[in-house]
Structure 1
Amino acid sequence: MSDSRPFRPEPAQILLVEDNPGDVRLTEEAFKQGRIENDLHVVSDGDEALDFLYRRGEYADATRPDLILLDLNLPRKDGEDVLEELKADPELRSIPVIVLTSSRAEEDVVRSYELHANAYLTKPVDPDEFIETVRAFEKFWFSVVRLPPEDEHT
């Protein structure tokens, strides 16, 4: 069996930062249906996301994600604060961050890009459209885009 993914011999490491269990299930379903092998890690608030990224506490053995899917409306520390902290850190700023949120507010879009989000996707309300959006994003980011290599010493 030939491997059609020359740049990705390992499963893609994806961190999903999402507090809505329904959206988590839909995202998991979309990735299961997709063709890209991945390990989807899920945290439900901004503080947990930063603990995962900095490998603190229960996430001491966490793998560095290749890509982060970030909801803006999170309990405790919100998505904008996570994005700002992440992109200010020289060790973590190269990880692409896709804002995946229900917000259609123009100021959220503008602010996310000002904080160096790599893309902004609005979650469709319809579950089938939601899955299709995640699959389209997955295909683009893991089949078309070349992601930065992980630093060997991180």
Structure 2
Amino acid sequence: RSVETESAVDFIIDAVKTYGKDLVYVPTGPMTNIEAALKKAPEIKDEIGRIVLMGGALTVPGNCNACMEANISQDPEAADYLFRSGTPTTMIGLDVTLQTLLTYKETQQWRDLGTKAGKFLADMTDFYIKAYETTSPHLGGCGLHDPLAVG
């Protein structure tokens, strides 16, 4: 596929204009592009179906420091703009995503499939679980942050 020539901001606006209330936008990372899209085309806040994002940490410590979650901390002004814009938005925070973890038990099930894809996915996820063993050994697995927001 060739490189996109349309900016992310214009893509978001065009997607809202094309799909309207059927569009559920799931940003994975900071809210920078959606903020810019809302500033460029403020009417999309009433035309989009909704935004569902992984971000924040309401009842648990953040993953950047005790108070901040990464997706919000990378552009807190954009997150603030989105939350105050009136755009229908659902935030799925760390307090939710850390309740569902992938463990070595699941990665072993993928290995047991005996496929290249299963082994690759297991190896990749085991690497992620090992990172959690360093930063959050009490959890016993790795968080499924953005996939849970999508779900």
With the shorter chain as reference, the TM-score category is: 0.3 to 0.5
Instruction: Give the structure with the higher percent strand.
Output: 1
TM-score by length of structure 1 reads 0.36
Larger radius of gyration between Structure 1 and Structure 2: 2
TM-score by length of structure 2 reads 0.36
